[in-house]
Amino acid sequence: MATIRLGDEAPNFTAQTSEGEINFHKWLGDSWGILFSHPADYTPVCTTELGTVAKYTEEFNKRNVKVMALSVDGVESHHGWIKDINETQNTTVNFPIIADEDGKVSELYDMIHPNADSKLTVRSVFVIGNDKKVKLIITYPASTGRNFDELLRVIDSLQLTAYHKVATPANWKHGEDVVISPAISTADAKNIFTKGVNEIKPYLRMTPQPNLD
């Protein structure tokens, strides 16, 4: 069984999906990605999750993020389920759902946890950068639906910290002050972060979010 850790290259695969055969890395291109698994089609929590993701399309597009779901059911089942999702969640599913009937992708990404269920995937989430590296891994039990506002918040943090020498504090949201990297001296920080440096402690310096006008 594969073990994927932060910083690893996201394993590539070719799979049948609700939008045809897709090679994962080619499909990602230069975009960031979210790969997330579902226990099964026609299940209540999953139905609300996929509906929510469809409603968040504009937010994902703003962040250059592509979304791909996975279930162990087949393509025909997916198409029927998508109709239900669109009807009950008042939206249009516009992202591919992998038909992982043979479990190859589930095994590749360690999405089946036998002590939870021997056949169905748990609610795994992988955020993948535009360098194809795994940036975030979260695993939820089947009984708990995911918080996609939190995933957007994390992606904002990941994209900010990828290009600026900062980190984001607890409960940070886009637009709030950020933490200056400990590797930067306060003197250098004052030259780099021209919006100001608030030195609370020598190791705890704050600055306004640098990528905002």
Tens of pLDDT, residues 33-48:
999 988 788 989 999 9
For residue 20, how far is the Cα from the chain centroid? 22
Specify the 3-state DSSP secondary structure of 117: coil
Contact of 166 with 207, CB cutoff 8 Å: yes
CATH says 14-144 is which class? Answer: alpha beta
| Confidence category of residue 115, pLDDT binned at 50, 70, 90 | low
- Classify domain 164-207 by CATH number: 3.30.1020.10
Domain boundaries, the chain: 14-144, 164-207
Residue partners of 103: CB distance under 8 A and separation at least 6: 72, 112
3-state class percentages of the chain: helix first, strand second, coil last, to nearest 5: 30, 25, 45
Q: Which residues are catalytic?
A: 46
Tens of pLDDT, residues 145-199:
899 999 999 999 999 999 999 999 999 999 999 999 999 999 999 999 999 999 9
pTM above 0.85, yes or no: yes
Q: What is d(CA 89, CA 23) in angstroms, rounded to the nearest whole number?
A: 29
In the predicted structure, residue 122 carries a pLDDT above the cut 80: no
Burial environment of residue 144 by CB neighbours within 10 A (0 to 12, 13 to 18, 19 or more):
exposed
